[in-house]
Structure 1
Amino acid sequence: MIATRYMLRISLLLVGLFSSHALSSTISVDQECVSAVFSILGGLNFVGIGYGNYYVASCQNPLKVASIYAISKTYCPPSDLDPGFDYLKTLCRKYGGAELLPEEDVAANLTDEAVNGFPVLDQADTRVMTNLTTPVLISRDWFDLGFKTEDEWDFEARNRERYGFAMYGFWGGVLLVGTLHRLAAHFLESRQLPLPTGPEDTGSADSREKSRAGTKSLAYLYSQVRKRLTTPSVFPPYHRQLLFGCTIPTRIELFVVASYWVVSFVLCCVNYRAFEGNLYWPKVAPQIWRYIADRAGVMAYSNLPLIWMFSGRNNIFIWLTGWQFSTFNLFHRHIARIATLQAIMHSIGYTAFYYTAGYGEELRTDFHQPWLYLGVAATISMSVIVFFSFSWFRRKIYESFLLIHIVLSVVVIVALFYHTSIFDGQYDPYLWPLVAIWSFDRFLRIVRVVYCNLRVRLRKTRLQRSTAAIAYDQDANIITVQINTHVKPGPGQHYYLYQPFRLKGWENHPFTLAHWSSHPGGQAGSTDVLSRIVDGSAVTSIEAGSPHGAVEGENLLSFWIRPYDGWTRHLRDVCLKAQTKSQLPAIHRETVLLEGPYGTAEPLWAYDEVLLMAGGSGIATMVPYILDHIARTAAPNKLRRTRIRGLTLVWSNRSQAFIKQIAQRELAATLARDDIECMFYCTNTAKESLDSLPLPPKDEKSAAEECKGMAESSVLKSKEETDVSEAPDGATASIRMGRPDIAGIVEKAAASASESGSRLAVLACGPSEMADAARAATYRAMRQSHSVEYFEEAFGW
């Protein structure tokens, strides 16, 4: 009983040692022997210098230091002595603020004769609990037990750091594969040389030139990856649609996410070594709980930079891999869930450790310390963030979710700095990257906002800012926002819009660039909307016509927004409030800031046939690609970079009014082209009869004139200007009734492309059900042919 009591008291002393330095340092194997001696003697008291002060006594007390030197030379290999003593010197400077006494200062006690006269203590010796007055040796059994205890602890410490870094190795490999995949795609696209797109081109099988064997092999591998991994969802047809409230990933996304869950779970569960009689905690249970808690905590810390890295808009890895933001956001959510579970396990493990080791009272005392209760606060905050990140909350209360997300993320960072402050900055390398990543992302956001919205006009030497004109069409249920900027527009772009002078001016929302008009300069005195916005005159309506006189280098960007809740509903209400019975629609002038551009254009130009599938406001994605195609075909032969010989647009929308407006304005130049076919579907036929759209006479304009006409057409028109009327030659384009047969259209296009030896690209953007139907149909077509590819424009959060 007496021996047991002594051992328990020594263990308690060693726990103090453990808390002060063993946790905070990972040592090399050749330092373990001397460290074990240091740990054992740390629990003994010697009279003289530093009595009662752990590190001062261990580093400066001549009796204790002589004992450390003597025991180390007795039991440790000679090759371990210098590394071990160097490690002790580091501990003395870092934690004791003193130097380890050099061997020369205690040389008189280290002669063979002196060492042979040292008393030899074992764990059961009553003298271990007294104030020792001479240097001592320890028994071999006690040293072996101390070395085994040190070795086991260092083994666990090294493992938790290695397993934490394994998280970076995993995601580094994933991002490397994504980057290589994009490089392969870019290489294959560059091999697809532009072909003639004139009327004489028949689109025969010669569209695919013979390639070298290496290129063919790479193309086949790339095709197989897209067909079997990146395109199909795990549970077709669900992908954008929720299944039991859950987002369904593609096969490759599931493989990555599931692999990370498995790797994280396995690394949290393996390679624990515990034994009875451990000098820190004699029983096995507290050892296991402590090792689990520490490993889970370190791995949770390791995941934090990954969480922040995958969450930012300005992410270099988005640029390298070409993945959509929704893919990064999917990985972000799963890493956050794993880190939160690890944090919870860390908290549970430490609580179990305190009680199984007999330190329940100490836990109640320590809970008043900031490092402990702020650690609990961080775990709770992470749990709340994860709870509110589930799809129901993100879709129903997005603004509240976002505010909770940001505020609690700041709480987590601050709390974790305090939580691990007792380790003298050892864990700061996990935390400062969070601050750096967040600051970098916010800094680039500010740079983008300033670049997009402020510019200096050299002619008048004055600072000019962007201004927005906003209108709401009740018949179409669409808000149109036009903003002037010097940023170069293009397909595949989206921007975040701010309304800075609102109470919640920090809110920003992503919208796809739907259309643009370029203004290289022209005659003065124009009354178009852009010049009036720039000059600051009142805007009451937006008139059609050529935008001459606009500021040199300006572009008028247009966004089509369907109002729902939150900010979009606010925009609608503002427009309705400004609207009068005699003015339909009314134009509201507002300060709206752009942040962007984000997103990249899909390489549709590298395909022979293109099928665009749009639903609702998803037409905003398709119009820029049509504009781009027209511009490419109108360019001189040397600048022509397109293989497209046939482009088909399929657009379904509930409002016939919106279809008419877009068809007669932005798509007007496409209706008479031989290489573009437009198929319109009105899915809400209960309230109005279906009409035909006028088809401009063929051959009336050249391709260049058509492109210019589209670029110069105003986006916002009055209701009277969108009425249907017959074209001079009586030709019309009809609006079909009901929903399009997505599967049938895709299958027919794929079969036609296969027969002609053409490559077909399918791009979908619209409601979840429509996009998933297009994906599923394209996947079925891909299984029959290697010449079909699927692209999807979707923003996920």
Structure 2
Amino acid sequence: MARPPRLLLLLLAGVAAAANLCETTCLSMAGAYSYSDCTADTPSTTEPCCTSAAYSGTYSLCLARCAAKQRLATWKTFQSTCGLALCSSNSSYDDVYAYALDHYVEVADVDLTTEVYEAVEFGESSFNANFAYYKAKAGNALSNKIYGAAIAGYWLVIIGLAILMRLYRAIFDRSIHPRGAISRAIQTYVALPAFFGHSHAEPVRIFGFPVGLQPLRWQAFVVLGYVVANLLLVVAEFDVSYAAADVQSVFIQTLSFYSKRTGVMAVAMMVPMFVFSGRNTYLMLLTGWSNDTFKLFHRWIARVLVVDAIVHSIMETMYLVQLHSYKAYVTESVFRIIGITTTGVACIIAVQSAYYFRRRFFEGFLSTHILLALFFLVALGFHVMSTVYLRLIYACAGIYACDRLLRIGRVLYGNLSGHADMRANRDATQIRVRPAIAFRYRAGQYAYVYTLRLNFWQANPFSIAECRERGREYVFVAKKFDRVTARLHDAARTTTNSGNVMASATGTRVWIEGPYGATYPLERYASVLLVAGGVGITAVMSYAMQLKRAERICMVHVHWVVREKENVRWVDAQLAQLAMAENFDIHIHVTAARKDDGEREPITIKFGEKDPGITTYEFAEYNGNDDDDGADLNDEYADMTASLVTRFTAAKNVTFHYGRPVLRRLVRYTSELEGGSMAVFACGPGSMTDGVREAIVQELWRSPERRIDYFEDSFS
């Protein structure tokens, strides 16, 4: 690091430690011996032996080498600590020192293994070496606190910048106008692209095995800055006293320093890690970051924390081995046993949080993760109990408790008498929740749904497709995907006494927690392109309904990619309303069809393949559903779906297509068709949102003068 900051740091260290540095040195030197008149079981290098006249004499002889002001202040502290103990500690310093000068032994004549009957006189070189050692130790302790605060402050600065940028956009960017050269370059090369290539929401695979999601370029820069800052602060210049080599070698001092520095850095990261772990609805609103961004930062903070904890444990072990006291320290010190346990739990959490386990076993991962994290927090609290860093553990516990209490309060406030009606389609469940109290809702938000009859202790996030009756009713669509949504789907399929399967369940006790998430000002743009994949239509539909009700009318293009045409049942009521709006252009892309024998036939015709414009293909005749699963339900849905398709096809602004759209052509065509500013919102599988993002980046390269802003809600 630069010399001036280091000099300032040493100056601060000298001011802070001047009052007790002499005391620390003399306590350590005098406490190294066993005194015959000391009633303490074992000597202590941190607490005085108040009952020993020999100890008091040794202590006074050591203080004689300190400055007069420090010497008298330290002796006063010694007297107040010992009180009216039956020894010379309640005498004046001059009296005790004068007596010790007549009754002392040289340090060279004393054996640490035998009892001492008189005061011990330390040589000047021995005192200077110990003083230099504790001075360096005090300076390093202060620098550890400063650098620990710096690594936590890094995230405070990042959050502050995000809030300022969002405030700037809210005040000065209310009217959508073309971007300047710098703003356009940031959007094209930093804000939108993935770090490498175009895969962001789709997992990166190594030999076909998913290993994680790639951050956006701006997110990667933030994480990279954090990792580099942590590395620089860990290896930053520190004070090793060569004058103290007689006390501890330079190598042992270095091991001790790195052990302390990495330990402090790991504890300092706890607060930002817990801040990013909660649902933090207010921080999300202030920064405009998505829940995915919060969790990305949470994971990277935790990963660096684990690395620092491992280095801390390794350096501490090497330090104790060099002192030839590893076994004694570890087996007899609960402090170090808990420290080893804490590091082990941190490593388990890191492995358990791998992308594969999160994605494949989410329910088990979440429950186990919370239990391990709480155990880690408590164990770390015991490990740092005797230090000032215990306050950080209290802060983390407070953050977690407040987050949980606020969530419980939000759930109980509006759901004590709430209930829901559920309707099961072939592969999805429509949930209409009516909470007891209306919530404030904005388009694009989501909520956590608790189904009390299934698992009241765990909630799953679902996008809100529509808010009705001024917040009195929320509509969700849950695609049958994993165990939770499958159980939800089965719960909606109730069985009557006659054995018939019903497609709906009324009055089900369902609680919601939310709404969460930020909303995007799509209504400010001249045109809007909404792209949905599968059940991603729920988030898209919330914006579509808002744009339909907006005072400012803009042209809205909706493209929904679904596997089968009966999926229109998911949002049939909303589609019926949008089909009547003149400023809406709706396209439904069906990626599979039926042969006469009922088997699936993939359609390979792509959007725009024959013509640069919109190409409509005739919809195949509906032949029912041949799947065995839910056959009774599908018979009921067949006629309804066929009539819906007929009704939507009859509308001039609703078009059905076979095959997947070519996203690059779709974005380019819509941009050229409308002109002016355009907002693009996408929600769907990772491969689709990555494709839309890449298409927009390419369009910005091709037409840099255009104002195209991209917003995303990916459920990958």
TM-score (norm 2): 0.83
Q: CA deviation at 1:239?
A: 0.4
Write the distance in 1 (CA, Å) between the matches of 2:653 and 2:715. 35
Task: Find the residue that maps to 1:666 and give its secondary structure.
Answer: helix
Correspondence for 1:608: 526
Q: Deviations over 1:469-514 (max 9, x none)?
A: 112111xx22111111222433111010112233x42111000001
Q: CA deviation at 1:86?
A: 6.8
Q: CA 1:85 to 1:157, structure 2 compared with 1: closer, same or farther past 3 Å? A: farther
Write the distance in 1 (CA, Å) between the matches of 2:619 and 2:79. 88
Q: Deviations over 1:107-137 (max 9, x none)?
A: 32345xx676565735x34477664444454
Task: Find the residue that maps to 2:292 and give its secondary structure.
Answer: helix
Q: How does 1:585-624 map to 2 (within 5 A)?
A: 585-587=503-505, 589-624=507-542
8 A Cα contact 1:120 1:138, kept in partner: no
Q: CA deviation at 1:558?
A: 1.0
- 2:532 is aligned with 1:568: no
Match of 1:358 among 317, 324, 334: 324
Q: CA deviation at 1:588?
A: 5.2
Q: CA 1:732 to 1:183, structure 2 compared with 1: closer, same or farther past 3 Å? A: closer
- 2:694 is aligned with 1:742: no
8 A Cα contact 2:493 2:505, kept in partner: no
Q: CA 1:795 to 1:324, structure 2 compared with 1: closer, same or farther past 3 Å? A: farther
Write the distance in 1 (CA, Å) between the matches of 2:298 and 2:434. 34
Q: CA 1:396 to 1:117, structure 2 compared with 1: closer, same or farther past 3 Å? A: same
Amino acid at match of 2:561: S
Write the distance in 2 (CA, Å) between the matches of 1:167 and 1:98. 46
Write the distance in 2 (CA, Å) between the matches of 1:517 and 1:126. 87
Correspondence for 1:527: none
Task: Find the residue that maps to 1:778 and give its secondary structure.
Answer: helix
Task: Find the residue that maps to 2:198 and give its secondary structure.
Answer: coil
Q: CA 1:281 to 1:679, structure 2 compared with 1: closer, same or farther past 3 Å? A: farther
- 2:468 is aligned with 1:517: yes
- 2:80 is aligned with 1:172: no
Write the distance in 2 (CA, Å) between the matches of 1:254 and 1:31. 45
8 A Cα contact 1:69 1:103, kept in partner: no
Write the distance in 2 (CA, Å) between the matches of 1:415 and 1:248. 32
8 A Cα contact 1:609 1:760, kept in partner: yes
- 2:566 is aligned with 1:657: yes
Correspondence for 2:367: 403
Q: CA 1:246 to 1:45, structure 2 compared with 1: closer, same or farther past 3 Å? A: same
Q: Deviations over 1:511-560 (max 9, x none)?
A: 00012331xxxxxxxxxxxxxxxxxxxxxxxxxxxxxxxxxx66221111
- 2:390 is aligned with 1:428: yes
Task: Find the residue that maps to 2:452 and give its secondary structure.
Answer: coil
Q: CA 1:587 to 1:134, structure 2 compared with 1: closer, same or farther past 3 Å? A: closer
8 A Cα contact 1:498 1:592, kept in partner: yes
Q: CA 1:673 to 1:400, structure 2 compared with 1: closer, same or farther past 3 Å? A: same
Write the distance in 1 (CA, Å) between the matches of 2:390 and 2:407. 26
Write the distance in 1 (CA, Å) between the matches of 2:87 and 2:231. 42
Correspondence for 1:65: 56
Q: CA deviation at 1:399?
A: 0.7
Match of 1:393 among 340, 353, 357: 357
Write the distance in 2 (CA, Å) between the matches of 1:735 and 1:248. 34
Q: CA deviation at 1:277?
A: 8.0
Amino acid at match of 1:77: A
Write the distance in 1 (CA, Å) between the matches of 2:530 and 2:352. 35
Q: Deviations over 1:139-162 (max 9, x none)?
A: 221111111111222222222222
Amino acid at match of 1:442: R
8 A Cα contact 1:313 1:325, kept in partner: yes
8 A Cα contact 2:60 2:96, kept in partner: no
Amino acid at match of 1:484: R
Q: CA 1:102 to 1:726, structure 2 compared with 1: closer, same or farther past 3 Å? A: closer
Write the distance in 1 (CA, Å) between the matches of 2:706 and 2:90. 76
Q: CA deviation at 1:594?
A: 0.6
Write the distance in 1 (CA, Å) between the matches of 2:287 and 2:542. 23
Q: CA deviation at 1:778?
A: 1.1
Q: CA deviation at 1:37?
A: 2.6
Match of 1:648 among 544, 557, 561: 557
8 A Cα contact 2:199 2:214, kept in partner: yes
Amino acid at match of 1:68: Y
Match of 1:234 among 189, 192, 195: 195
Task: Find the residue that maps to 2:453 and give its secondary structure.
Answer: coil
Q: How does 1:69-468 map to 2 (within 5 A)?
A: 69-73=60-64, 75-81=65-71, 84=74, 92=81, 104-110=91-97, 117=102, 119=104, 121-122=106-107, 124-126=108-110, 131-191=115-175, 208=177, 222-244=183-205, 245-274=211-240, 278=244, 282-363=248-329, 365-366=331-332, 369-421=333-385, 423=386, 426-454=388-416, 465-468=417-420
Q: CA 1:118 to 1:101, structure 2 compared with 1: closer, same or farther past 3 Å? A: closer
Write the distance in 2 (CA, Å) between the matches of 1:563 and 1:257. 35
Match of 1:666 among 566, 569, 574: 574
Could you list the runs of 4 or more consecutive aligned residues of structure 1 that deviate by over 6 angstroms after TM superposition?
Answer: 96-103, 579-584, 727-730
Correspondence for 2:421: 469
TM-score (norm 1): 0.75
Write the distance in 2 (CA, Å) between the matches of 1:769 and 1:321. 26
Write the distance in 1 (CA, Å) between the matches of 2:653 and 2:175. 39
Q: CA deviation at 1:740?
A: 0.7
Q: CA 1:117 to 1:281, structure 2 compared with 1: closer, same or farther past 3 Å? A: closer
Q: CA 1:472 to 1:364, structure 2 compared with 1: closer, same or farther past 3 Å? A: same
8 A Cα contact 1:56 1:98, kept in partner: no
Q: CA 1:27 to 1:131, structure 2 compared with 1: closer, same or farther past 3 Å? A: farther
Q: CA 1:406 to 1:281, structure 2 compared with 1: closer, same or farther past 3 Å? A: farther
Correspondence for 2:606: none
- 2:475 is aligned with 1:558: yes
8 A Cα contact 1:300 1:339, kept in partner: yes
Correspondence for 1:789: 709
Q: CA deviation at 1:767?
A: 0.8
8 A Cα contact 1:480 1:559, kept in partner: yes
Q: Deviations over 1:659-703 (max 9, x none)?
A: 3663x521223224332211110011244897669xxxxxxxxxx
Q: CA 1:321 to 1:81, structure 2 compared with 1: closer, same or farther past 3 Å? A: farther
Q: CA deviation at 1:64?
A: 3.1
Write the distance in 2 (CA, Å) between the matches of 1:775 and 1:121. 79
Amino acid at match of 1:599: G
Structure 2: state its 5+ residue gaps: 1-14, 206-210, 595-599, 604-616, 621-635
Write the distance in 1 (CA, Å) between the matches of 2:370 and 2:639. 46
Task: Find the residue that maps to 1:725 and give its secondary structure.
Answer: helix
Q: CA deviation at 1:59?
A: 4.6
Correspondence for 2:627: none
**Greater Cα shift, 347-356 or 398-407:** 347-356
Task: Find the residue that maps to 1:790 and give its secondary structure.
Answer: strand
Write the distance in 2 (CA, Å) between the matches of 1:728 and 1:225. 42
Correspondence for 2:434: 484
8 A Cα contact 2:424 2:503, kept in partner: yes
Task: Find the residue that maps to 2:441 and give its secondary structure.
Answer: coil
Higher relative contact order (CA 8 A, sep 6+): 1
Q: CA deviation at 1:101?
A: 7.4
Q: CA deviation at 1:418?
A: 2.7
Task: Find the residue that maps to 2:472 and give its secondary structure.
Answer: strand
Amino acid at match of 2:459: N
8 A Cα contact 1:119 1:136, kept in partner: yes
8 A Cα contact 2:466 2:541, kept in partner: yes
Q: CA deviation at 1:592?
A: 1.1
Correspondence for 1:32: 21
Q: CA deviation at 1:741?
A: 1.2
Q: CA deviation at 1:377?
A: 2.2
8 A Cα contact 2:79 2:89, kept in partner: no
Amino acid at match of 1:344: I
Q: CA deviation at 1:791?
A: 0.6
